[in-house]
Amino acid sequence: MKANQRDLHDDVHRIEDCLLRVRECMDVNYLKLNNDKIHVFLLGSRQQLNKVTLNGLNVCDIFVRAQYVSKDLGVLWDSQKTMAKQIAKVCKTSAVHL
């Protein structure tokens, strides 16, 4: 196995452990994790992201999608941390109100 594959395998294992702990905590509190809304958010510079060819991962028998833009608490976050999508959305919404 190449070093990058080992790193990816280790990272997937850590994500699986974390997801299992979250599920256990939620089960104790009678909550359910929505598998359709779980995703991996890729962060990095443009050069780093160009090296990644990841569409998703199989974690705990769930296919977890990789995303480059994520909406959290009403804010659009992009993988390069430029907030370009959020700025475009705010400008578009503002133009309607002017």
| Amino acid 28: pLDDT | 94
Beta strand extents in 1-98 (DSSP E only):
39-41, 56-59, 62-67, 69-72, 75-78
For residue 54, CA distances in Å to 29, 66, 73, 77 come to: 33, 7, 25, 18
pTM here?
A: 0.57
Please count the CA atoms within 13 angstroms of the CA of 95 that sit on its side-chain side: 6
CA–CA separation, 18 and 74 (whole Å): 25
| Amino acid 30: pLDDT | 94
Domain ranges of the chain: 1-67, 69-98
**Mean pLDDT score, 51-57:** 77
Instruction: Please give the residue that has the higher pLDDT: either 73 or 4.
Output: 73
